[in-house]
A = this chain, B = another copy of it.
Amino acid sequence: MAKQRALLSRDRVLRAAIRLADDSGLDSLTMRKLGQALGVEAMSLYNHVANKDDLLDGMLDLVLSEIDLSPDAADPEAALRKGVISAHEVLMRHPWACGLILSPSPFRVFPARMRYMESLLGRLTDAGFSADLTYHGYHALDSHILGFTLWALGHTLDVEDPAAFAASFVENLRADGYTHLIEHVEQHLDESRRDEKGEFEFKLDLILDGLKRMRG
């Protein structure tokens, strides 16, 4: 460890925290370990963040800033669809973020989140949806972005050999007659199907097509 470390700053603390959470998960993000990663004692961090909640808010603010929900007057429907997918991709890169945004207490507000909300609502309006459809459509899309992504992340099983795991899982199921579940697991093992982005967009298009039909 170099003796001459760069000076601590809020930005350096937040970026180190994101890296630590990306690499090792939120459970590994403790003030002590974060200090260690920065070559400093845990207590020093409190000179740059108010407390751990403030740290988490700051991390989310940087992450949501990566989302690109910019307008496209030439093709507003494509801009909406692309923005939603951008949000999904950003949240998949930072697997700890979705759960944090959706944790009920405290309700987290920070600048990038407001900009995200404003932009998503703007892209819905641009696409020609009425105030009423924009209202419901926002809920459908925001819950798809955060909810589906968290759901997908919650189904990534962290095991060396997924095929072997699934095989022994199916074996256990067979004895108890879970016929539909066995078929579903076998469909998952079909390499041609294992396409997470495809699943996100499949449901996204169900939602978007339904909204467009209601728009008439």
Pairs A–B under 8 Å by Cβ, sample size 28? A95-B104, A99-B103, A102-B154, A103-B154, A104-B156, A104-B158, A107-B155, A114-B176, A117-B180, A118-B179, A121-B180, A121-B181, A122-B180, A125-B180, A131-B183, A131-B187, A134-B180, A136-B202, A140-B202, A140-B206, A143-B147, A143-B203, A144-B147, A147-B151, A206-B206, A206-B207, A207-B207, A210-B210
What residue in chain B is nearest A198 (Cβ atoms)?
A: B136
A124 to chain B, nearest CB (A): 8
Please tell me if the beta carbons of A146 and B151 are within 8 angstroms of each other in the complex.
yes
Please tell me if the beta carbons of B148 and A104 are within 8 angstroms of each other in the complex.
no
A179-192: CB near B (< 8 Å → 1, else 0) gives 11101100100000
For A135, the chain B residues whose CB sits under 8 A away are 184, 187, 193
Copies in the complex: 2
Please tell me if the beta carbons of B118 and A181 are within 8 angstroms of each other in the complex.
yes
A163 to chain B, nearest CB (A): 16
For A148, the chain B residues whose CB sits under 8 A away are 143, 147
Please tell me if the beta carbons of A184 and B150 are within 8 angstroms of each other in the complex.
no
With known contacts A135-B193, A147-B143, A147-B148, A154–B207 Cβ distance under 8 A: no
A215 interface residue per 8 A CB criterion: no
For A210, the chain B residues whose CB sits under 8 A away are 205-207, 209-210
15 other contacts beyond A117-B180, A131-B183, A210-B210, with CB at 8 A cut-off?
Answer: A104-B153, A104-B154, A104-B156, A107-B155, A107-B157, A107-B158, A118-B179, A118-B180, A121-B181, A135-B193, A139-B199, A140-B206, A143-B151, A146-B147, A207-B210
A112 to chain B, nearest CB (A): 13
Nearest 4 CB-CB pairings of A with B: A147-B147, A206-B210, A102-B154, A121-B180
A47 interface residue per 8 A CB criterion: no
